[in-house]
Amino acid sequence: MRSVEEQLAIIADAAVTPEPVRVAISDSLGLRSAEEVRGDRQVPGFNQAAIDGYAVRAVDLVPRDAKGAPADDRPEDQRPPEPLPDEDYEPDRRSDREHRKLAELPVVGDVGAGSHRPLRLQPNQAVRVETGAPVPTLSDAIIPEAWVERHGRRIRPLFPVKSGDFIHRAGTDVLEGDVIVSEGTVIGPAHIGLLAAVGRSKVLVYPRPRVAVMSIGQELIDSDRTPGRGQVFDVNSYSLAAAAEEAGADAHRVGVIAGEPRRLQEIMEGQILRSEIIVIAGAVGGSAARRMRDIVSNLGDIEYTRVAMHPGSTQGFGLLGPNKVPTFLLPSNPVGSLIIFETMIRPLIQYEAGRRGGRRRIIQARALHGVSSMPGRRGFIRGQLMRDRGTDEYLVDPLGASAGAPQHLLGSFAEANCLIHVPEDVVGIAPGDVVDVLFLSNRA
């Protein structure tokens, strides 16, 4: 019997990385970049107003005395009000000792966002600007509208500003030549924003691995048909395709495959040409599995083995076709198939997608009830993970925890948000023991 680690090592060696493709940046979310992207322009490309207000020279707003000289002895004053309730751009706070009697400035122009008209500010002048508008030449600060009194075409500043206040300087986000996406980076929303900011509409990425999922079994029918005596609905192709999508693959649910051996081989050959991974449920055990074994033996090398785990010990794995596509043969039991997918197939999808650290999070939790496990096999017990509000400790309630309990019940798996890992040399866990727990999806 092969250990879980040995089987995972064999599977990892068979990983097939898809060829890079160039896609629109709007389609690149979650994909791994196949290139290093450098900005060929600075962001922002020009000095931008960070708020609606007036472009000024900060030196023109220095408090002055009655003779026009800079005021050294200034009375106590209030702090400036917040420019906008939702504005998160905040300049350096002014001193409480500021003089309100600043010189009036004439408003000599108006610049809106997107304006192409160059404007040069002269000393002791102001220009009204909108958020995002280019800052006039020689202006080094924006005074918010809430900080001025306006009288016709003139404003009286109530508070001074410092050079750089309320201005997004050119190049403060990205300088020309900066690396904005490194090769191998999994692209997130901020990366897409940066790509758009430097004018990139497409990016070279590794596509999601294509996973073909199918079920085989004389008793199986699709969910849009009415089952007759001895027939059951196909469950595996739906649940496994959903698991592949959740793992980051481009899943294709082939559904139930049936027919003569030649027809089955044609189906398999077609999927080999268009897939990086193939998953066949119901191909371990029974007459249907024997037929599938004969078919796949014509297409490549498949090894049937027993892995030291439960459920899902019996499974098949091999490489099919000229491209040596990794192919998994799983039992018909939906729970066993999902456990094998979680432990064997999901890591391969993550590896092929370039997510070397894409394993699910494992934490420690205290068991609320006892757990039985099969000797010599690693147990993957479904559970409900929760947290004690008082102690902030993780707690886990095992589902179907007894070694003799039915392992085929999909209902308890649907209730689970984690898997309890029971080591091979442990046959029982008592209530209160600390166990390793693996999160499932985002349900924890």
Rounded distance between C-alpha atoms, residue 241 and residue 69, angstroms: 77
Q: How far is CA 32 from the centre of its chain?
A: 11
Cβ-based neighbours of 198, under 8 Å, separated by 6 or more: 37, 39, 40, 41, 43, 174, 180
Which of 277, 325, 281 lies closest to 299, judged by CA? 325
The model's pLDDT over 260-303, given as tens digits with 9 standing for 90+, comes to: 888 989 999 999 999 999 999 998 877 777 788 888 888 998 99
The model's pLDDT over 111-130, given as tens digits with 9 standing for 90+, comes to: 988 887 778 888 999 999 99
Q: What sign results for the dihedral spanned by CA atoms 384, 356, 16, 13?
A: negative
Q: Give the predicted TM-score (pTM) of the model.
A: 0.74
- Determine the angle formed by the axes of helices 261-274 and 287-297, rounding to 10 degrees: 60
The model's pLDDT over 82-116, given as tens digits with 9 standing for 90+, comes to: 555 444 544 444 444 444 457 789 999 899 888 87
SS (H, E, C) the chain: CECHHHHHHHHHHCCCCCCCEEEEHHHCCCCEECCCEECCCCECCCCEECCCEEEECHHHHCCECCCCCECCCCCCCCCCCCCCCCCCCCCCCCCCCCCCCCCCEEEEEEECCCCCCCCECCCCCEEEECCCCECCECCCEEEEHHHEEEECCEEEECCCCCCCCCEECCCCCECCCCEEECCCCECCHHHHHHHHHCCCCEEEEECCCEEEEEEECCCEECCCCCCCCCCEECCHHHHHHHHHHHCCCEEEEEEEECCCHHHHHHHHHHHHHHCCEEEEECCCCCHHHHHHHHHHHCCEEEEEEEECEECCCEEEEEEECCCCEEEEEECCCHHHHHHHHHHHHHHHHHHHCCCCCCCCCEEEEEECCCEECCCCCEEEEEEEEEECCCCCCEEEEECCCCCCCCCCCHHHHHHCCEEEEECCCCCEECCCCEEEEEECCCCC
Cβ-based neighbours of 125, under 8 Å, separated by 6 or more: 56, 60, 105, 106, 107, 108
Q: Taking CA 218 as the corner, what is the angle to CA 227 and CA 294, rounded to the nearest 5 degrees? A: 165
CATH topology (fold) of 21-43+172-206: Molybdopterin biosynthesis moea protein, domain 2 (3.90.105)
Which of 332, 364, 329 lies closest to 344, judged by CA? 329
CATH topology (fold) of 4-18+208-353: Molybdenum Cofactor Biosythetic Enzyme; Chain A (3.40.980)
Please name the amino acid found at residue 294: D
**Average pLDDT in the chain:** 85
Which of 355, 415, 367 lies closest to 187, judged by CA? 355
pLDDT band for position 330 (50/70/90)? Answer: very high
Residues 362-439: name the CATH superfamily: MoeA, C-terminal, domain IV (2.40.340.10)
Mean pLDDT of all residues in 239-258: 93
Rounded distance between C-alpha atoms, residue 257 and residue 221, angstroms: 10
pLDDT band for position 400 (50/70/90)? Answer: low
398 has which bridge partners? 383
Mean pLDDT of all residues in 427-435: 92
Q: How far is CA 250 from the centre of its chain?
A: 15
pLDDT at residue 151 is higher than 80: yes
Q: Residue 441: what pLDDT?
A: 64
Rounded distance between C-alpha atoms, residue 98 and residue 106, angstroms: 22
Look up residue 10 and give its two tokens.
């064999």
Domain locations along the chain: 4-18+208-353, 21-43+172-206, 362-439
Rounded distance between C-alpha atoms, residue 349 and residue 34, angstroms: 17
Mean pLDDT of all residues in 239-245: 95
pLDDT at residue 74 is higher than 60: no
Q: How far is CA 315 from the centre of its chain?
A: 31
pLDDT at residue 435 is higher than 60: yes
Domain pair 21-43+172-206 / 362-439, same fold: no
Q: Residue 195: what pLDDT?
A: 94
